[in-house]
Structure 1
């Protein structure tokens, strides 16, 4: 018997490991923008937040160049990056068992919605996911709290202890807390342990197996 009636999952770093696709897309964009001399730490920090935030805040690009860099990123990602990706071991079984346990599941991601939809269809997650909500093309709707809010509103889900937000970054935890949801931080994704713990999630898990125990009981 599952512990939750509704679960909202993040995508990258929670259901799938898209490190290679995101990294290659970022390197492609930076090369075309002729940006060099950055550290590996900056590349790590780029994964998680909206693209627009990453290029403007981490690389200091103005609005025009941020838009151009995002276009380059998406050029690569649309052709190659989205399928340089794989589900974390055990995730498919988790979704299947939750589904047959009567849990209603959703995906909230800061990734461009059309790419995220391609990914869940490619891995056949879509047969378990009621709705995927992602960022729009301009990045104006990439805030995780607003994405979670949209899902709750559309499906008339009332915040309660049996409604959970599962994700690997502070954006997921903060977004879930802002909407009154139970929050589950996963440490196997892209988030930093210290940041995740400082966000005070209701649950903190280090493996998919531990996530299974929290969600399925």
Structure 2
């Protein structure tokens, strides 16, 4: 079988795992520290982008408060939140079949790399990845473009490679395009069809089975 993509760069939150429970629990705890109790359903924008930028939306003129909120969030996430999470049904099998078919699988997430590594190892996904690239906890590599550029450097793709980014938010599409990659947007995550279409995703997949049909056509 000829695989359409030789290298698949996967986002983590909303693409490989349903991580909303742990992320939103941590965000609510951090905001409550400042007496803020927004409705939980209004906080989905925290899933995907760099968290400091998201907290800054609540403290636009008070960067110290945004950093404190991030610290509180990370303390919770490190101890509990990262495990309030689950792999989407069928995803582990897809990663295994991609690897067996000769496609290299890579992780490219804006989540801090130490957390990402713990999560994929906890769920038994680490053996599938050739490259694991995430954001730095306190460094310049923090958005999806920076992470993808880093991941591409680690992957050392040959000229004949046919790579693809797979993610659920517009940041994934925009980051992919910034480094010259096409992107498949998944609709089972946290981004909408409208968001991914507006960002210019080349493919849309409404389920893990739909993603399988794109990556491993019969």
CA pair 160-28 structure 1, distance change in 2 beyond 3 A: farther
Q: Name the CA distance, whole Å, in 2 between partners of 1:173 and 1:158.
A: 22
Q: Give yes or no for contact 1:15–1:91 (8 Å, CA) kept in 2.
A: yes
Q: Name the CA distance, whole Å, in 2 between partners of 1:139 and 1:98.
A: 32
Q: Name the CA distance, whole Å, in 1 between partners of 2:52 and 2:100.
A: 38
CA pair 161-7 structure 1, distance change in 2 beyond 3 A: same
Q: Secondary structure at the match of 1:137?
A: coil
Identify the residue that residue 82 of structure 2 maps to in structure 1: 82
Matched, 1:24 2:25: yes
Identify the residue that residue 181 of structure 2 maps to in structure 1: 181
Q: Give yes or no for contact 2:145–2:176 (8 Å, CA) kept in 1.
A: yes
Structure 1 segment 43-192 matched on structure 2, within 5 A: 43-60=43-60, 62-138=62-138, 140-157=140-157, 162-192=162-192
145-154 or 58-67, which moves further after superposition? Answer: 58-67
Q: CA deviation at 1:66?
A: 1.1
Unpaired runs of 5+ residues, structure 1, are none
Offset from partner CA, 1:162-214 (integer Å, 9 cap, x none)? 20000000010111111111210001101122111111211001100000000
Alignment: residue pair count: 216
CA pair 61-34 structure 1, distance change in 2 beyond 3 A: farther
Structure 1 segment 2-17 matched on structure 2, within 5 A: 2-17=3-18
Q: Secondary structure at the match of 1:68?
A: helix
Q: Give yes or no for contact 1:160–1:180 (8 Å, CA) kept in 2.
A: no
Q: Give yes or no for contact 1:161–1:181 (8 Å, CA) kept in 2.
A: no
Offset from partner CA, 1:42-82 (integer Å, 9 cap, x none)? 30112111111100025536221111100100111011101
Q: CA deviation at 1:146?
A: 1.1
Runs of 4+ in 1 over 4 A off after TM superposition: 158-161
TM-score, length basis structure 1? 0.94
CA pair 158-42 structure 1, distance change in 2 beyond 3 A: farther
TM-score, length basis structure 2? 0.93
Unpaired runs of 5+ residues, structure 2, are none
Identify the residue that residue 36 of structure 2 maps to in structure 1: 35
CA pair 167-209 structure 1, distance change in 2 beyond 3 A: same
